[in-house]
Chains A and B, each alone.
Chain A
Amino acid sequence: MTLARADQASRRYGDVLALDRVDLEVQAGELVGLLGPNGAGKSTLMNLLVGLRRPSSGRVELFGRDPRDPASRRQIGVTPQETGLPGTLRVGEVVDFVSAHYPDPVPRAELLDRFGLADLVRRQTGGLSGGQRRRLAVALAFVGRPRLVLLDEPTTGLDVAARHTLWEAIRAFHEDGGTVLLSSHYLEEVEALAHRVVVIGQGRVLADDTVDAVRGIVGVRRVSLVADNLPDLPGVVRTERVDGRLHLLTTDADELVRALVTAQTPFTDLEVRPTSLEEAFLAITSGEAPGGDTASGDTPAGTGRPTTAAAGGLPTTV
């Protein structure tokens, strides 16, 4: 059963196209990670799915209905941004307020206990630490015994221990049959939780695949060196020549360096660096752009094939 669906959904803010014809389906029982750099359109997609904003064109659905219809939101859980909790209200009051909207809410004590907040019932939310506030915010998504929770960057700014506590809660919910759609710009978070990853960049779905396949794309490294001519090298996703240096984006830096040495290619000033998620996404996005990138014009012969592989933008071709 499809719990959430976007069908060619676009959203425009003035001149900016934040979301560009996005297709997404979340089936019951899935734990889907929405991965993308800041500003990629993750939050916009979330906002469309929870009925906060209307798509400029296309459709979004929750349980087969318009998310702007309150009844369609009865079985979802959403997290407020931690900074958004009303500071003068007490923890218990915030939970009671949200509970009042659901027919069969989780009892307050049980919920607070599950998120390690039991001692804080009487505290005003304005006086909580960032981690406590974040935990309360995530707890609110589970008050109404939802079938689908949508978590927008649930652990941003948390320390490692707090992050793991939250991950446990999310996993437990999923193991009980709950469905989760969670956005993050940390590959690590998505790897730890999700089974399926949807990569979003510049408002478009760049990849929708298993965690392993997506890691193949975003686990790209940058090998840069000075050399006149390169042999045919394995696993190169993209080649650029900037100020006399060659930059090779590769999925397997070890293998590339080994091949370089085996071929006895003369080179100097070798550097291997991890790429940021942004860089990796950029490589995929610009590779997908029609007509390819101009940098490929001065790539040495022999690297034509890997560049085409990137043009597909699909994990299976990497």
Chain B
Amino acid sequence: MQLALVHARYQLLEIIRIPVAVFGSAFFPAAAMIFFVVPFAGDDPVGATYATASMVTFSVMSANIFQYGVGVAEDRDQPWNPYTRTLPAGPAPRFAGRVLAGLALTYLSLIPVVVIGATLTAAQVTPAAFLLALGTVAVISVPFTLMGLAIGYSLPSKAAIVVAQVLFLPLAFGGGLLSAPGDAPGFIETIAPYLPTRGAAELMWAAAADYDVEPLAVIMLGVWVVLLAALAGWAYRRDEGRRFS
């Protein structure tokens, strides 16, 4: 456990020394807040709360997919990574450290969204709901962390960047994150429950506001977690550093 903290600390140190990297994962959701949420749903307390919760989900998704997908793939390219694998520690501390660091950065990237939601929109949340939402962030990070790890461990870094970019927008739109609950265009309402983003968003909505989750979306989220965990585990095991053939 102590080693996990050591790994987390050095991962964060490395990232924080290049602050643009942190800025990157916070930028897109914050920009989406300013351009889409503030002008269109800013005055309606209920709409603004849902929209802010959606953007938080968006932020969690993009932060995790990029951080793990691209971060892990890039680390695997660095000769430092195989070296750390020769140290007398199993994969667990490094893995736990990475997840801890990832979670810390996810929370950090949420700050702009939450600040914009609180100051520029009519979004409202009770203290209890806010705490619940904080916990929910950790829960909904799980599928996207696993997705990122699956990408990062199975692809070289150049491919990982492309796959992460190709995935995150359709996941956001398809899951109905850019429209109010039940208000998305017809075909999106049809496919949304089958995407992990929707289940995650439903949980966020339920945590932040008065919302009854759709069971199908949450069940599918569970299915996604199992699938992605299997995929990430498989990718991790077959990885022996960067492959050459």
Residues A88 and B14 in contact, CB atoms below 8 Å apart: yes
Please tell me which one of the listed residues B18, B86, B89, B240 contacts residue A88 in the complex, with CB atoms under 8 A apart.
Answer: B18
Residues B88 and A86 in contact, CB atoms below 8 Å apart: no
Q: Which residues of B contact A85 (CB under 8 A)?
A: 80
**Bound-complex Cα distance A78 to B87 (A):** 8
Q: Which residues of A contact B18 (CB under 8 A)?
A: 88
Please tell me which one of the listed residues A47, A86, A102 contacts residue B80 in the complex, with CB atoms under 8 A apart.
Answer: A86
A-contacting residues of B (Cβ < 8 Å)?
2-3, 6, 10, 13-14, 17-18, 78-83, 85-90, 240-241, 244-245
Q: Which residues of B contact A84 (CB under 8 A)?
A: 78-83
B-contacting residues of A (Cβ < 8 Å)?
13-15, 47, 50-54, 70-71, 73-74, 76, 78-81, 83-86, 88-89, 93, 97-98, 100-102, 124, 140, 144
Q: Knowing that A80-B83, A84-B81 are A-B contacts, what are 17 other residue pairs whose CB atoms are under 8 Å apart, sorted by A's residue number?
A: A53-B240, A70-B90, A74-B88, A80-B79, A84-B83, A88-B18, A89-B10, A89-B13, A89-B14, A93-B10, A100-B3, A100-B6, A101-B87, A101-B89, A124-B17, A140-B83, A144-B88
Residues B10 and A50 in contact, CB atoms below 8 Å apart: no
Residues B17 and A88 in contact, CB atoms below 8 Å apart: yes
Residues A102 and B88 in contact, CB atoms below 8 Å apart: yes
B interface secondary structure, majority: loop
**Bound-complex Cα distance A94 to B88 (A):** 16
Q: Which 4 A-B pairs have the closest CB atoms?
A: A84-B79, A80-B83, A88-B17, A14-B245
Please tell me which one of the listed residues A52, A74, A80 contacts residue B240 in the complex, with CB atoms under 8 A apart.
Answer: A52
Residues B17 and A81 in contact, CB atoms below 8 Å apart: no
Residues B88 and A70 in contact, CB atoms below 8 Å apart: yes
**Bound-complex Cα distance A85 to B78 (A):** 9
Please give the distance in Å from A97's CB to the nearest CB on chain B: 5
Residues A101 and B240 in contact, CB atoms below 8 Å apart: no
